[in-house]
Structure 1
């Protein structure tokens, strides 16, 4: 894996560390949190963490023993890309996808472990509950009453370009070492995002190579670095990444496992804002300027400055989507949108 200029990360502000005694203390920190924080050793007692501290083979054996007999998706790239999951010169992905049983995949990890020219191997966002028996229960999320999505990320020394996610995220370093580089949501202009519809994993990514930033091509990235925070994670550490914070993620060891939890404090039946943005581009972006201004005002009225007074003149219970949404109303609205999109 290509080495980064250490001065880039050394100059960054460290993500604040917090001490947490129990789930109640973590819950108090998470309520209304809009800044990242790091908790050292939060999940150090997990069996998966303890297996990884014994050896990489012990961690792999722990997971293989609990893996269901299903196919696992894996991204594979040549050694020359230095572990960077990105685009190639024609903006196609610089990796190919494969599938296999976990034991077969891990045999490849073991074969190449420690080799400087090891190919890139990455299992991203694997749903734990559908791929493993017992792993979620034996390594429980410290999130109290929240009902998050459980995902596991497994790879060798890889680099995932800066991106943002809509839900809040608790990322737990289980095996190996990780480095997260984080930026506030408003730094998206300075990160030089790639396409919205041609992405490695569904979210737009920064085009800047953090290991060798080209400031002639990406001059505003220097401004982004002034807002960056870095978290160097050891096994057992947990990092809270607030919704829409940009994060560049590196696996720093020959074998790395991350377990993360995404959750929405709002209604789980809500739609994906990224989908709304993409449809707005289709429907609004190329309208004449005067028309766009009209629709900007309507969006502000109905969405961004939504106030009860805006629809108080309509009888209660007869306001359609202007009434507070619940699961049945959201389902009806989704069906209506699908009919409109397909008409």
Structure 2
């Protein structure tokens, strides 16, 4: 089947085209212009272009069955109702907000323009159904928490039956703060290859299986992507079928599963070797983000003449003492991981580069380091 290109930044266009995509009559290309040679299997609903934070472009093929299975499993876990879209519709989390709304027979409310606390309040007030849902990334939640002194923001946070948070690690203190304000937070884990979040608060959705093999999380179930458009080699490497005929997605994430609860430790490949010692930058970043003022910080690798590699903290400037925050971050990292893991420097700028999905643009930061 041939693909129809839709601007993923145009949520209304995606919303209008989605019913035909889900019935298999008009598969969509989101985030890229397909070539004439780009054809997809019957049953394909969308192909999503994503590079995440790695900078490696991928075009993920999602079937209508996979998207429906994800929407139905979400409804079975948290209920169904009307959704508010605050994420780009060209990313899987935003696309799923629209798919869940369609599955529930509800019209979603679209947050127009830049995400602000005021825009969130306005969009929330437009919801009319008894049960209300939305999906955010941690940076958006932080914006709302910073503005929660406004009674309207607090009431809007508490208006939802569930607020799904995904895309990045959610700090415990941020979740605690949101729940103190009455928000019902659900931390999700997943990717475009799993039709979005498929693990909620550590527990896989119905029909989804998660195992750890040699420290890597692998996922099976009806929500898996069909593969990658135009890249059979990558498809075969990432999606593996075991002797029992079960198809597994190799996530590239380190983690473990204990008594059915999934714990994600970070990217397997996001490790540096400093002075001969392996250091997980994901672990360092999570600790750094517990420091006041560095909640949205990003930790990246930098070359180091003495140790081979070291790490640097990138943070947006704000109402905090950068030097004090830097020393506190080093102290906390040393206490939990050892002195060898301490970041070597802190760089601040008025704003960090961000992807449209709300995640930090790590590839841009890598280029800044190289420059």
| TM-score when normalising by structure 2 | 0.27
Structure with greater Cα Rg: 1
Bigger RCO (CA 8 Å, 6+ sep): 1
| TM-score when normalising by structure 1 | 0.29
Of Structure 1 and Structure 2, which has the larger fraction of its residues in strand? 2
